[in-house]
Structure 1
Amino acid sequence: MESIFHEKQEGSLCAQHCLNNLLQGEYFSPVELSAIAHQLDEEERMRMAEGGVQTEEYRTFLQQPSGNMDDSGFFSIQVISNALGVWGLEIVLFNSREYQQLQIDPIHEKAFICNYKEHWFTVRKLGQQWFNLNSLLTGPELISDTYLALFLAQLQQEGYSIFVIRGNLPDCEADQILRIMRVDQQQRPKLIGEDEAQRLAVPQVTDTALPGDEAPLDEDEEELRKALALSREHMEVEDEEADLRRAIQLSMQAGGADPRSPGAVVAASSSQGSGSAAVKETLSAEELRRRRQAYFDRQTQNALAHASNTAGEEKDSGTKPNQ
């Protein structure tokens, strides 16, 4: 992971971070991207001037702010496209009719850039593995081949625009290393600032506490500790529910059927291993509802069993009266 270039968020320069994480190096600065944006602005001004510099449309255009950049550090898709053009790369809209007709499995691509409102980030293959290089994360996030399609489908559901990168990306150290070895990731990276937020939320032992001593918790602190523990349990269940929702969303898109049609739901289950071939079976809306209900029932039973076991352990660990 150390060899992977991962530029973290600074201000609103996510377009710069997206490009540099894609190209795996400090290839673009705000100054260089601003120069591209100004060039695009000038080309647009010249086209508007062809209709006459005395027209109302031209005067209105001059009064409007640039659509290619702003003072916060935002850059448009046109700026990103032109910046990639310097390296002989082009972008293709992932969900466009032309691209979808090619029926290319996402794992056979090289990289994607994703945009929602004013945030850009890169998903790229390095060696034989995929990584989420979002600048809002504390580090690269490993994405398995079987999960990649689900991940992209979830982004689309959340309103992201996804673009496929076409062309030869420049060579980089991480790609060379990961061609001969694979990495494992035991813990997913967190959002920047998440650790600090959790640290502030959890009561800390004072500096005066001696090694081995435990600071006594008053009633409010004890309730907070229990609430945090319960919250973590709920987050684990919600993560599994989120995976189910991603699978359902992908199933709606897998067969090219209209997801708004109750009878056109297709379930896709990805095979384990290097490929991502799917076995499809047609499900009715009622059958899908029953499967979801069965899933949530199992989660409830597991939670009840866990609570019962915990209560039994606490009872057994109690002190026995003197004989």
Structure 2
Amino acid sequence: MDLIPDIFFEKQEGNLCAQHALNALLQGSYFTAVDLADIGRELDVKESIVHGRHVSGNNYDDSGYFSIQVIQQALSVWDLELIPWGSEQAVNAREEPQNELAYICHLHQHWFTLRRFAVPWRWYNLNSTQKAPTYLSETYLGLLLQQIQDEGYSIFVVRGTMPKCPADDKAALLPRPSIQEKNKACVPFSGKAYRLTDSGTSGTTNDQEEQHLAQAIEASLRDSEQQRMEDMRRKRLARFGG
């Protein structure tokens, strides 16, 4: 059974990637560009008071740019918190990334979401520049996070309690993906960073690096499956002898 038809997903529209990333995270049409602009204006006013001078454009502008402060403020309504990937609070995320709820990633004013649905083996890349959500195995999630960090992305761990959504309910009932499904799903991340003003055309792709990444993922998944079978064999021998 496929979870993708049940996942709320917005394709890139204009320069609204911050809106798309938030709605993908929350799994619904919770925010519009107008909502985020209102939050940005409020933050600019507060910063003006603190600095004793007029501040404008720090948190949003007419191009569709929204700062991390706007996104944090928007998520605070849901008691969700963003933790920087490199912080002390994110140690567990760096060690076992599959156990977190989601990640919001940013580079060159482009925001996108990686989200888990119900269980640690149901991760999806919800980048609005894609045609549809793409499945991420637990192994590939860790490799992808490492790759985009190396490419300069800012990564934020999402902590708190997500609103309930149909995709979470369905994911809890689905079986674990088979090793064949995992291998099929391992499409290398292009490494492209999209600027809001570039219409998704900036960045370059290193084909050789992507090929190496794909090979590493496939080998890791194969080794993981072999290790699992070997563990089962040892347990049978320990229990029944032979």
Q: Is the 1:88–1:167 contact (alpha carbons within 8 Å) kept by the matching residues of 2? A: yes
What is the rounded CA distance, in whole Å, between the counterparts of 1:38 and 1:139 in structure 2? Answer: 32
Aligned-residue offset at 1:116: 0.5
1:272 CA displacement: 2.4
* Deviation, structure 1 residue 66: 1.1
What's the counterpart of residue 272 of structure 1? 224
Instruction: Give the equivalent residue in structure 2 for 1:134.
Output: 127
1:266-291 CA distance string (max 9 Å, x none): xx957526x99xxxxxxxxxxxxxxx
Secondary structure of residue in 2 paired with 1:45: helix
State the match for 1:35 in structure 2: 38
2:77, 2:49 → 1: CA distance? 23
TM-score normalised by length of structure 1? 0.56
Report whether the alignment pairs 1:242 with 2:228: no
Q: In the alignment, what sits opposite 1:67? A: 58
SS for the counterpart of 2:224 is coil
SS of equivalent to 1:142: strand
Cα distance change, pair 162–136 in 1 and its aligned pair in 2 (3 A): same
What is the alpha-carbon root mean square deviation over aligned residues? 3.1
Shift of 1:107: 0.8
**Post-superposition offset of 1:102:** 7.6
> What pairs up with 1:217-296 in 2 under 5 angstroms?
239-243=210-214, 272=224
Partners of 1:138 and 1:189 within 8 A in 2: no
The correspondence of residues 115-134 of structure 1 with structure 2, limited to 5 A, is: 115-128=106-119, 129-134=122-127
Distance, in Å, in 2 between the alignment partners of 1:82 and 1:154 is 28
Change (3 A) 1:178 1:246: closer
Judge conservation of contact 1:23–1:169 (CA < 8 Å) in 2. yes
Aligned-residue offset at 1:132: 0.3
Identity percentage of aligned residues:
43
The alpha-carbon deviation at position 243 of structure 1 amounts to: 3.5
Higher RCO (CA-CA < 8 Å; seq separation 6+): 2
SS in 1 for 2:6: coil
- Once residues 90 and 98 of structure 1 are traced to their aligned partners in structure 2, the CA distance between those partners, rounded to angstroms, is 11
Give distance in 2, aligned partners of 1:109 and 1:238. 27
Q: Structure 2 residue aligned with 1:143, among 136, 143, 161?
A: 136
- The 2-side partners of 1:148 and 1:79 are apart by 26
Distance 1:103 1:133, change over 3 A: closer
* SS of residue in 2 equivalent to 1:66: coil
The one-character-per-residue Cα deviations of 1:187-231 (angstroms, maximum 9, x if unpaired) are 66999xxxxxxxxxxxxxxxxxxxxxxxxxxxxxxxxxxxxxxxx
The answer for the alignment partner of 2:87 in structure 1 is 96
Give structure 2 stretches of 5+ with no counterpart: 191-205, 229-242
Among 160, 165, 173, the residue aligned to 2:166: 173
Q: Check whether the contact 2:93–2:100 (CA below 8 A) recurs between aligned residues.
A: no
Q: Which of 3, 9, 13 matches 2:16? A: 13
d(CA) in 2 for partners of 1:27 and 1:119? 19
Amino acid at match of 1:90: E
- 8 Å contact from structure 2 (residues 27, 165) kept in 1: yes
2:51 counterpart of 1:48? yes
Partner residue in 2 for 1:152: 145
Task: Assess if the C-alpha contact under 8 Å between 1:141 and 1:189 holds in 2.
Answer: no
**Larger-Rg structure:** 1
Q: Alpha-carbon deviations, 1:151-182, whole Å to 9, x = none? A: 10000011001000000000000110111014
- 1:91-143, CA deviations, whole angstroms, 9 ceiling, x for partnerless residues? 10011244227864101111000000200000000132000000000000100
SS at structure 2 position matched to 1:2: helix
Is contact 1:140-1:189 (8 Å) kept?
no
Displacement after TM superposition at 1:34 (Å):
0.8
Kindly indicate whether the alpha-carbon contact (under 8 Å) linking 1:122 and 1:132 is maintained by their aligned counterparts in 2: yes
Letter in 1 for 2:26: L
Aligned counterparts of 1:107 and 1:238: Cα–Cα separation in 2 = 24
Cα separation, partners in 2 of 1:102 and 1:120, compared to 1, 3 Å: closer
The count of corresponding residues between Structure 1 and Structure 2 is 200
Q: Could you tell me which amino acid in structure 2 is paired with residue 177 of structure 1?
A: K
**After the TM superposition, which segments of 4 or more aligned residues of structure 1 sit over 6 Å from their partners?**
none
The CA distance in 1 between the partners of 2:224 and 2:65, in whole Å, is: 40
Structure 1 gap ranges (5+): 50-57, 192-233, 248-267, 277-323
Which residue identity is paired with 2:6?
Answer: S
Bigger shift: residues 76-85 or 237-246: 237-246
